[in-house]
Amino acid sequence: MWMIMALQTALLNSDISDHSGNTEYIILLWVVWIIVVVVGNIVVMNFIIAVVGDSYTNCMAKREAQSLKVKVDMIIERENIMTEAELLNEENFP
């Protein structure tokens, strides 16, 4: 019961002046508040890391596709410049 009251007081920002004579309750209140803040921060940071990691994966996939597209465009441009003899030469196309 003390734990539930301490959690309610810590989360709802209730007035703790009613319990000013009970130091055990105040200590429990601070311990619960610190635990809630630390665990909350860990959960939020984990969420942020997951979102950033997913975005990084998407960017790397798009980067690879863009790189291959640029290479293909360069090959097509070079082949358009080549003469008929260069196109028939097998050494140009390994």
Per-residue model confidence (pLDDT) at position 9? 63
Residue ranges per structural domain of the chain? 2-92
* pLDDT tens figures, 11-44: 665 555 565 667 777 787 778 888 888 999 999 9
The distance from CA 45 to its chain's CA centroid, rounded to whole angstroms, is: 8
Per-residue model confidence (pLDDT) at position 1? 56
pTM: 0.51
Per-residue model confidence (pLDDT) at position 72? 94
* pLDDT tens figures, 35-76: 888 999 999 999 999 999 999 999 998 998 999 999 999 999
**CA-to-CA dists, residue 86 to 6, 17, 74, 81, 90, angstroms:** 83, 91, 16, 10, 8
